[in-house]
Amino acid sequence: MNVQELIDTARTLVAGNKGLLAMDESNPTCNKRFARLGIPQTEEARRSYRELIVTTPGLGEFISGVILYDETIRQSRKDGTPFVKVITDAGIMPGIKVDTGAKDMAGHTGEKITEGLDGLRTRLVEYSQMGARFTKWRAVITISDTIPSRGCIEANANALARYATLCQEAGLVPIVEPEVLMDGNHTLERCFEVTAEVLRAIFNQLYTQRVALECMILKPNMVLPGTDCPKQDSVEEVADATMTCLLRAVPAAVPGIAFLSGGQPYELASARLNAMNLRFETRMPWALTFSFSRAIQQPALEIWKGQQANAAAAQQALYHRARCNSAARLGQYRTEMENNVGSRSS
Ligand code: 13P
């Protein structure tokens, strides 16, 4: 592997005012979101929606990289231009999700283990030849009174680290994504404890499996109260808890942290990222940005509804969320920005 190239790629992905757009929903997840809005769950509908996203005018002003899915990296615009070319021409790096999903973990009721290591080395060669520059693997950790178990945390951390080493060997920058879910009635303090334990296990494994920390990006959850927790902490409390947790657990050699949104209301996701960048700007050793799917795409999908006539308005909504999150990445997001959908580059 060419280490300097990997370092340059990782740094470019989190540089300046930019973040990542995750559009790597598996077909079942994408279909579920389509079904809720009455959109047909066909390959053509998924292709057409992906075309809308990657052809959004000006997307490259705020987005450094997009994460694709196996089906999507092979798809093209209606006129035959491969998505990878459309994305690259827009000044955006294509990446690819390479895990094959979080499955029920044997012996661990209610917990998941992410699969996809078998044959990964060969798949990485193919993705790299198709133009991918970076990859993603997501581990899922659920909180209840009795879980996560040590077994689940360690197995997922080991898989993430083995995935990351294989990617670096193939010349691809791994995004390491441990997602502690928001589902449940747990408090912010409990999410803090679990996230800290998960991150410690992951960095131990990354070290043991010889992952170059300079050549990766961490994609964690924010530290949040569960969606059903009666106490919903303020934006500042969430920002402080998340940053305290990350400052303790994430080595300074990691070039960037790019959050998942995890189902947070999209305006809150922007406000929280903004508060972290504002309040901790001088104390952070890494770049702090976004790698959102729902918190960028959801309004656009709701406007599109599968109708070509709505495509331009949906693209405006997508552009708007990308712009808001880009501002948040710089600590310059204000809620008033939300009233100004549609105007390109002010
Ligand atoms: P969300 O931002 O919708 O959580 O998606 C991020 C992601 O890539 C999940 O794997």
**Amino acid (one-letter) located at 274:** N
Q: What is the C-alpha to C-alpha distance for residues 89 and 99, in angstroms, rounded to an integer?
A: 27
How many of the other CB atoms lie within 10 Å of CB of 248? 10
* Chain mean position to CA 205: 21
End-to-end CA distance of the chain: 41
Q: What is the C-alpha to C-alpha distance for residues 92 and 54, in angstroms, rounded to an integer?
A: 10
Contacts of residue 182, Cβ cutoff 8 Å, sequence gap at least 6: 221, 224, 226, 227, 262, 263, 264
Q: What is the C-alpha to C-alpha distance for residues 226 and 315, in angstroms, rounded to an integer?
A: 31
The reported pTM is 0.98
**Amino acid (one-letter) located at 139:** A
Q: What confidence score (pLDDT) does residue 342 get?
A: 66
The reply to whether ligand 1 has any atom less than 6 angstroms from the CB of 95 is no
Q: What confidence score (pLDDT) does residue 340 get?
A: 85
> pLDDT digits over 277-304, tens only?
999 999 999 999 999 999 999 999 999 9
Catalytic residues: 177, 219
Ligand 1 atom closest to the CA of 295, numbered from 1: 2
- Rounded to the nearest angstrom, the distance between the alpha carbon of 33 and the centre of ligand 1 is 13
Cα atoms in the Cβ-side hemisphere of radius 13 Å centred on 141: 32
Point out the residues of the chain with pLDDT beneath 50. Answer: 346
Ligand 1 atom closest to the CA of 297, numbered from 1: 3
The reply to whether ligand 1 has any atom less than 6 angstroms from the CB of 22 is yes
Using left for φ > 0, alpha for ψ between -120 and 50, and beta otherwise, residue 191 falls in: alpha
Q: What is the C-alpha to C-alpha distance for residues 23 and 33, in angstroms, rounded to an integer?
A: 13
The reply to whether ligand 1 has any atom less than 6 angstroms from the CB of 23 is no
> Residue 82: phi, psi to the nearest 5?
-60, 140
Extended strands (E) in the chain = 19-22, 63-68, 93-97, 102-104, 112-114, 134-141, 173-180, 217-218, 256-259, 287-292
Q: What is the C-alpha to C-alpha distance for residues 140 and 134, in angstroms, rounded to an integer?
A: 20
- Rounded to the nearest angstrom, the distance between the alpha carbon of 259 and the centre of ligand 1 is 8
